Chain A
Amino acid sequence: GAVVSQHPSRVICKSGTSVKIECRSLDFQATTMFWYRQFPKQSLMLMATSNEGSKATYEQGVEKDKFLINHASLTLSTLTVTSAHPEDSSFYICSAQKQTTGLAGVPDTQYFGPGTRLTVL
């Protein structure tokens, strides 16, 4: 299997506070994890690529100081939304890349978590 979990599934916080979201690969190790954001009725938008033991790579327009990513182990990546504001309210989804063949040039498949719905009041 390839199961990815996220915690919490839902969080409501006050404006100005920070929120941490965890992403875990339960039955495989993931050197690379990804974080996405999805607003209502829109598609997923890639925010950043998280590599175990190194700094995350952020997509253009995503503030790295606001969305702190830590990938401290091969099964856990965390996203912290700092000083959250109502416009940060969204569905945050992570994915973890599972090695499928190990062959050079063949990509590894990404498996997604169930998502975390953040509401900032």
Chain B
Amino acid sequence: DAKTTQPPSMDCAEGRAANLPCNHSTISGNEYVYWYRQIHSQGPQYIIHGLKNNETNEMASLIITEDRKSSTLILPHATLRDTAVYYCIVLHRPYNTDKLIFGTGTRLQVFP
């Protein structure tokens, strides 16, 4: 399984961009990178995923390096409601089953 490494915590001022890094140096060529976040006492919320190309949706942008060994999740204008634990996950796909193996994530604190 490709493991991910994330900083345990980060701070961001409200209105500024939050850039959350993730290292996944052992990722295989056909493995996707997924990002979820979990607000306290709730189920995780899907944010975005990608394989090779950069991706953008209404919530965030995902920048994947050319060698695919790391990625960055960008929240362009952080709000207080973005305070959460953010998980970067390399999707594990044994026997055509998609398994999300959660690590410890990054606790993002957005402050006023």
Contacts and interface: CB of A to CB of B under 8 A. Distances in A.
Contacts of A111: 46
Counting chain B residues whose Cβ lies within 8 A of the other chain, the interface size class is 20 to 34
Given A32-B97, A46-B101, A111-B46, 4 more contacts: A46-B100, A46-B102, A91-B41, A114-B43
A43 interface: yes
B93 A43 contact: no
B98 A107 contact: yes
Nearest to B93: A107
Interface of A: 2, 4, 6, 32, 34, 36, 43-46, 49, 57, 91, 93, 95, 97, 105, 107-115, 117
CB-based closest 10 A-B pairs: A112-B43, A44-B102, A43-B102, A112-B44, A107-B98, A115-B43, A114-B43, A93-B43, A113-B43, A43-B104
Nearest to A45: B102
Contacts of A97: 98
A2 B36 CA distance: 14
Contacts of B43: 4, 6, 93, 95, 112-115
12 contacts: A34-B100, A46-B101, A49-B97, A91-B41, A93-B43, A93-B44, A107-B32, A110-B98, A110-B100, A112-B43, A112-B44, A114-B43
Contact of A109 (B41, B49, B101, B103): B49
Nearest to A108: B98
Contact of B42 (A32, A46, A114): A114
A46 B44 contact: no
Interface in B50-107: 87, 91, 93, 97-105
A70 B103 CA distance: 27
Contacts of B46: 2, 109-112
Nearest to B85: A43
Interface string B30-41: 101010101001
A43 B91 contact: no
Nearest to B51: A106
A107 B97 CA distance: 9
A57 B32 CA distance: 22
